[in-house]
């Protein structure tokens, strides 16, 4: 018996959807990515030993201190810990970027630092001032908030849910656009993530095809729901590329950040991690950030561009004899092989457009202040409407609370370069002083199936899932 005309049409659409997978060359790419992943199992920084770390010396303190040794990332060895001022320890730790749920990688990091903090206070008797930031302004937050807003709007665009025909048509279009992103991606971990996303969409499309052939309404609705769920990342990315510039309500971004900040703090409490003595939020320090950037410019280490952005001049900073760029990972500076990956992670996807990159004086320069386009939150500044760069946020908040000298700075291993090295450069450029922090402590990243567990790779187990 011949299938009804509308059913034949939808089956043709599903066949078109299934054919998309082969355009990606998943089978071939999957094998090559697996080989690359095995070679990246260690956490070594690519590029080899090109520059040695800057010489470090033990701080001076007239008060007697316990014989405590900490592994210091600034020297890559265990160093005697001596605080700057008596028994007081000023400690700043990078908090989360709140655009998704906290995962076991976060648990590993904050539990590790909590143990060390407890030992230093309860056993060694230090008076620790523990400061943690919440990054609530960031490209990842902007994009995720827009995607969720647009996907919700898409699903609720009418009294009835989108038809099977419309969903398939839109997912086909989304996958065709996604293919460009897939083909240009050089990070093997992200490429593998994209492959997994496409394969899941393919599997759901096959279930929908089977349901359509059976012509059972309940099975079709269930298969449609499954397809929408598996394709939500691809579909929301496509919707964002088309309509993201129309999302100009700041509450869309604020609400996402507040939701995940609350969830993170709740998760830390359930893990019995001591709360920070002071919690700072980027959104509460924008005026201070603007003033900080102005000072860096006046000191000769920053410059403005025609679009209203401000960049840190790494060459000007490095060429000054009293300064040294990339103290934590000196071999990464000048490593062209890993530059693009580091810049993409540090600058954010929304800030890596060709027109923005062309305005930089040096490839390694990074944004202090970003001009905002339509669909991006903004604050007024001397350079126009924009928002802070990622790295400047921590530099400003840590010095606002702890002052010009910091005893301990902590965070994840993956933040060493460029984030923490850029933090150091910014503070030293602001004060025009070659020394800011004495001890940098980093904890290792948690790995799953050979890859770093992270929100951006979507391969994480949330803290809430683990605590069930």
Q: What is the mean pLDDT of the chain?
A: 87
**In which residue are the tokens 């690519």 written?**
46
pTM value is: 0.86
DSSP conformation letters of 311-337: EE-HHHHHHSTT--S-SS-GGGTT-HH
d(CA 47, CA 337): 7
Angle (nearest 5°) at CA 355 between 354 and 361: 95
d(CA 277, CA 129): 6
Report residue 197 as tokens: 């996303």
d(CA 323, CA 57): 16
pLDDT tens digit sequence for 348-373? 888 888 888 889 999 999 999 999 99
Q: Where are the alpha helices (DSSP H) in 281-420?
A: 286-298, 314-319, 336-347, 354-357, 390-402
Angle (nearest 5°) at CA 140 between 365 and 402: 65
Radius of gyration over every alpha carbon of the chain, rounded to an integer in angstroms: 25
Determine contact, residues 439/409, Cβ cutoff 8 Å. yes
pLDDT tens digit sequence for 218-263? 888 898 889 998 999 999 999 999 999 999 999 999 999 999 999 9
Exposed / middle / buried, residue 75 (Cβ in 10 Å: 0-12, 13-18, 19+): middle
In this predicted structure, the answer to whether residue 60 has a pLDDT above a threshold of 70 is yes
Helix (H, G, I), strand (E, B) or coil at 336: helix
Structural domains for the chain:
16-41+140-250 (no CATH), 69-137+276-466 (3.40.50.620)
């Amino acid at each position: 018996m011949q299938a009804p005309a509308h059913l034949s049409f939808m089956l043709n659409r599903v066949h078109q959807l299934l054919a998309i997978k082969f355009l990606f060359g998943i089978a071939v790419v999957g094998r090559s990515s697996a080989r690359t992943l095995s070679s990246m199992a260690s956490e070594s920084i690519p590029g080899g030993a090109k520059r040695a770390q800057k010489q470090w010396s033990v701080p001076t303190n007239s008060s007697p201190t316990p014989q405590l040794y900490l592994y210091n990332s600034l020297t890559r060895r265990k160093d005697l810990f001596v605080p700057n001022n008596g028994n007081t320890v000023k400690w700043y730790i990078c908090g989360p970027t709140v655009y998704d749920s906290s995962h076991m990688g976060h648990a590993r990091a904050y539990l590790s630092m909590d143990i060390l903090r407890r030992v230093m206070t309860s056993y060694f008797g230090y008076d620790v001032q523990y400061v943690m930031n919440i990054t609530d302004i960031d490209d990842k937050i902007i994009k995720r908030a827009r995607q969720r807003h647009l996907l919700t709007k898409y699903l609720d665009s009418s009294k009835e849910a989108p038809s099977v025909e419309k969903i398939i048509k839109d997912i086909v279009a989304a996958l065709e656009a996604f293919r460009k992103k897939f083909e240009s991606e050089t990070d093997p971990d992200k490429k593998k993530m994209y492959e997994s996303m496409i394969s899941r969409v393919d599997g759901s499309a096959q279930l929908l095809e089977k349901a359509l052939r059976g012509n059972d309404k309940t099975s079709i609705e269930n298969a449609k729901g499954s397809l929408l769920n598996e394709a939500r990342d691809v579909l929301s990315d496509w919707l964002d590329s088309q309509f993201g510039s129309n999302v100009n309500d700041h509450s869309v971004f604020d609400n996402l950040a507040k939701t995940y900040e609350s969830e993170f703090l709740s998760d830390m409490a359930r893990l019995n991690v001591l709360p920070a003595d002071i919690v700072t939020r980027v959104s509460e320090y924008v005026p201070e950030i603007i003033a900080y950037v102005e000072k860096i410019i006046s000191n000769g280490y920053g410059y403005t561009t025609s679009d209203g952005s401000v960049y840190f001049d790494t060459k000007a900073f490095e060429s000054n004899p009293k300064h040294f760029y990339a103290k934590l990972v000196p071999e990464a500076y000048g490593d062209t092989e890993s530059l693009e990956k580091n810049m993409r992670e540090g600058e954010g996807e929304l800030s890596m457009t060709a027109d923005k990159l062309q305005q930089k004086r040096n490839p390694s320069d990074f944004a202090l202040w970003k001009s905002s386009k339509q669909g991006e939150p903004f604050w007024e500044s001397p350079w126009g409407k924009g928002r802070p760069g990622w790295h400047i946020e921590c530099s400003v908040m840590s010095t606002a609370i702890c002052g010009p000298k910091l005893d301990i700075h902590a965070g994840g291993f993956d933040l060493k370069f460029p984030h923490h090295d850029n933090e150091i450069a910014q503070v030293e450029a602001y004060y025009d002083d070659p020394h800011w922090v004495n001890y940098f402590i980093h904890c290792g990243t948690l790995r799953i199936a050979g890859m770093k567990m992270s929100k951006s790779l979507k391969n994480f187990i949330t803290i809430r899932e683990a605590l069930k």
